[in-house]
Amino acid sequence: MKFDLVSRESSTGDGMGGHHSPSMVTDEWLTPPHVLLALGAPLTFDLDPAASLFFPRRAARRGYTIKDNGLALPWSGRVWLNPPYGLMCGTWLKLLADHGDGIALIFARTETTFFHAQVWNEPDQSFS
């Protein structure tokens, strides 16, 4: 099983959440462009099951948006996942862990149940 977790501060020093407003009206968070570029996206990923409707840069060759419902569709190949950060975040991470080949970009909310269940206890993690 290959399941990588990426954590990186932005070059401006404002952290992963620095490109978002604290008054969130959606649970969709955009991936910072420098993270995608560093990982070679979109060519290094086959699927982004939580692709944004509005993000100008693709993270994978194929993507499912909220209109497609990436939770209900089949996942194949190497997956890029920047999941919605609402109540379903753990469900997205479980699907990635079960799929077995991909990278998730999430906040290190180590106190949450989903972090322990879907990230911390996964046997094959890489931190970079």
Residue 28: its pLDDT value, please?
73
Closest CA to 80 of 102, 99, 54: 102
> Would 13 be classed as within a structural domain?
no
Helix, strand or coil, per DSSP, at residue 5: strand
pLDDT at 25 over 50: yes
> Would 52 be classed as within a structural domain?
yes
- Dump pLDDT digits (tens) for 39-81: 998 889 999 999 988 877 889 999 999 999 999 999 999 999 9
Q: How far apart are CA 85 and CA 25, in angstroms?
A: 12
- Dump pLDDT digits (tens) for 72-122: 999 999 999 999 888 888 899 889 988 989 999 887 767 777 676 766 666
> Would 77 be classed as within a structural domain?
yes
> Would 114 be classed as within a structural domain?
yes
Residue 126: its pLDDT value, please?
52
The tally of domains found in the chain comes to: 1
pLDDT at 127 over 60: no
> Would 85 be classed as within a structural domain?
yes
